[in-house]
Structure 1
Amino acid sequence: MAGRGSRLRPHTLTVPKPLIPVAGKPIVHRLVADIAGVLNEEIDEIAFILGDPAFFGEDVVESLKELAKSLGAKPSIYRQLDPKGTGHAIMCAEPSLSGPTVIAYADTLIRADFDLDKQADAVIWTKKVENPEAYGVVNLNENNEIIELVEKPETFVSDQAVIGIYYFKDVSALKKELQYVLDNDIINGGEYQINDGIKRMMANGKVFKTGTVSEWMDCGNKEVTVETNQRMLGFLAEAGEDLISENISKENSKIIEPCCIAEGVVLKNSTVGPYVSIGQGTIIEDSTVKNSIIQSHSVVKNATLDNAMIGNHATFDGNFTNVSIGDYSQLR
């Protein structure tokens, strides 16, 4: 999670993208919990690969340590100070690369219910897509083993897109091949890629299988993050989760579920929902808000919002609809 999340600016100017909340919880918290659910076994360690300490500061480190501890795991923090690609990022966590391991990129969310094939040397998680030419996909043999990774194929290879989550029965095999990639300066797209290590593992006879998720939700930019918030609220509501805090103030206001509303929220003369997430201590007055994310300690007045995303400690008083406002901004 060392990237700066430039496509989600202005929200990621002050908050790392994996800590942006979706349905009331940071992206990385939801992703780690979902992966843990699929593994269905104890996790010994969770290693986080962060970027520059000036951006990924001690508050970020502490929140991630608490996340790991909440799952009974040891937290480890590593830094990728120079963005040299996915393969390089993984090798920044070299001391933790041993034994059975899941590697994940912390900018997507999933819904998955499958048995992980732990007899395979590795599993690449995939999602069936309608337009495989827009993705990196896996090529399978007659035994449903992955024999090739193909980036944005011009002719049909398969409809199973790689989503950026991997399981290795012993990740030291990947570490060995990525070290070779680094030592021999094997670069694709200007960076050291995990795929080059995986391809070397395949060439050495390692067996790769797929684990297919039912839902794969992107958080790459504002539009898809709001859409992911909507979908996640729907899933959580179907599961019967209580998403609205008892400690809110509601005066002449209506909530159309599903919504996620944190404690200390004040609603006055407003209609909120469906598909709205509101962070702690936010005030909404004389407004209609639907299909939007509003983070903590912000003030929204005289607004009609749809497909909007508003950061922390922001003030919005205006006659706009589809907005994206970062932290500490004021529109009056």
Structure 2
Amino acid sequence: MKIIVPMAGRGSRLRPHTLTVPKPLIPVAGKPIVHRLVSDIAKVLGEPIEEVAFILGDPAFFGDDVVESLMQLAESLGAKGSIYRQDQPLGTGHAIMSAKESLSGPAVIAYADTLIRADFDLDKSADSVIWVKQVEHPEAYGVVKLSDSNEIVELVEKPKEYVSDLAVIGIYYFKDVGVLKKELQHILDNDITHGGEYQINDGIKRMMEKGMKFVPGKVDEWMDCGNKNVTVETNQRMLGFLEKDGEQLVSNSVKKDNANIIEPCFIGENVVIRNSTIGPFVSLGANTMVENTTIKNSLIQSNSKITNANLDNAMIGNHVVFDGKFETISIGDYSVLE
């Protein structure tokens, strides 16, 4: 089994945090989004992973440190790591075809801006599985239309009239991803675009037209990391899941002086907490110092200094110095507010 991970986007909706760190590498509950996604998919699949292929953008942004982190992720799964570059932002189908050398055999394609919690058996009798989640407002999503036999017969993007409430979450299984490769090559060769971009859906639709069997796979939880508010919410939900799983979330190296930690919280290596209350649902990255502060429902990265603050629904980047009485804030890396 292979895992193909398109992650070339700049994550503009999560700025300023993605001005210096690619969105898939933003930590949530102490672990980068893409690391959590790939590890959770591998766990769900329950079989050896042969290769993890990552599709990155501009080397000036997705540099050597990013490549090293991703290769270590693949190695941790006992898999070969491959790096490809999408030289232009020309859509989901174009991104996948940037990794054409790896498009053979059974594979999962997973876009690295979402997290899941799931427990299921993969239907390998189908040519493809498209994972979906029931949503309240399907008109805001791409959705699947099902037949009476529970097969996917159509993909509809943001339907104006009700089709179904099963939204496509951006994770797909293909019994032979080489078939998708062939159809996407046809899309590229014939310059079939929507909004100037080559889309995975057009390749999937060609597969459907040829009678291939597509079925839905349902996840228990689907968590977005598209903007600051939903990323903070995802951090909260993930901390709750990890606490139930019995994971150790507070490092043994944390230094506390008159500190109250209300779980669940993730607190990284060498964090210092003085005269403060942390939690619930807070993540503090390694080497961060917090003093005379109350924090809840917030996500704070590494090597930052937070003093004299009362934070709720906040997201603070790496190497930040923050001294103030603001509450709901979003501050990128290397910012100073004193």
Scaled to the shorter chain, the TM-score interval is: over 0.9
Structure 2 residue matching 1:270: 3-state secondary structure: strand
Structure 2 residue matching 1:293: 3-state secondary structure: strand
**C-alpha separation in 1, matches of 2:160 and 2:335:** 44
**C-alpha separation in 1, matches of 2:141 and 2:300:** 31
Give ranges in structure 2 of 5+ residues lacking alignment: 1-6
1:318 aligns with 2:324: yes
- Within a 5 Å distance, the mapping from 1:120-131 to structure 2 comes to 120-131=126-137
Q: Which residue matches 1:309?
A: 315
TM-score normalised by L of structure 2: 0.98
Q: Which residue matches 1:254?
A: 260
1:140 aligns with 2:142: no
Which residue of the other structure, out of 96, 99, 112, is the alignment partner of 2:102? 96
Q: Which residue matches 2:175?
A: 169
Structure 2 residue matching 1:234: 3-state secondary structure: helix
**C-alpha separation in 1, matches of 2:43 and 2:269:** 27
Q: Which residue matches 1:35?
A: 41
Note the C-alpha offset of 1:172.
0.5
Note the C-alpha offset of 1:157.
1.2
Which residue of the other structure, out of 69, 79, 86, is the alignment partner of 2:85? 79
**C-alpha separation in 2, matches of 1:21 and 1:233:** 12
Note the C-alpha offset of 1:226.
0.2
1:328 aligns with 2:334: yes
Q: Which residue matches 2:197?
A: 191
1:280 aligns with 2:291: no
Which residue of the other structure, out of 233, 237, 256, is the alignment partner of 2:239? 233
Note the C-alpha offset of 1:263.
1.1
Structure 1 residue matching 2:327: 3-state secondary structure: coil
Q: Which residue matches 1:203?
A: 209
Q: Which residue matches 2:161?
A: 155
Note the C-alpha offset of 1:62.
0.3
Q: Which residue matches 2:228?
A: 222
**C-alpha separation in 2, matches of 1:322 and 1:225:** 14
**C-alpha separation in 1, matches of 2:46 and 2:317:** 35
**C-alpha separation in 2, matches of 1:295 and 1:16:** 14
Instruction: Give the number of aligned pairs.
Output: 332
Q: Which residue matches 1:106?
A: 112
**C-alpha separation in 2, matches of 1:104 and 1:265:** 33
- Per-residue CA deviation, residues 209-267 of structure 1 (Å, 9 max, x unaligned), is 01000110000000000000000000111111110001011001100000000010000
**C-alpha separation in 2, matches of 1:116 and 1:104:** 15
- Per-residue CA deviation, residues 13-32 of structure 1 (Å, 9 max, x unaligned), is 00000000000000000000
Q: Which amino acid aligns with 2:114?
A: T
Q: Which residue matches 1:10?
A: 16
Structure 2 residue matching 1:142: 3-state secondary structure: coil
Which residue of the other structure, out of 287, 294, 301, is the alignment partner of 2:300? 294
Deviant stretches of 4+, over 6 Å = none
Note the C-alpha offset of 1:91.
0.2
Note the C-alpha offset of 1:123.
0.4
TM-score normalised by L of structure 1: 0.99
Q: Which amino acid aligns with 1:223?
A: N
Note the C-alpha offset of 1:156.
1.6
- Per-residue CA deviation, residues 66-110 of structure 1 (Å, 9 max, x unaligned), is 000000000000000100000000000000000000001000000
Structure 1 residue matching 2:62: 3-state secondary structure: coil
CA root-mean-square deviation: 0.5
**C-alpha separation in 1, matches of 2:27 and 2:306:** 18
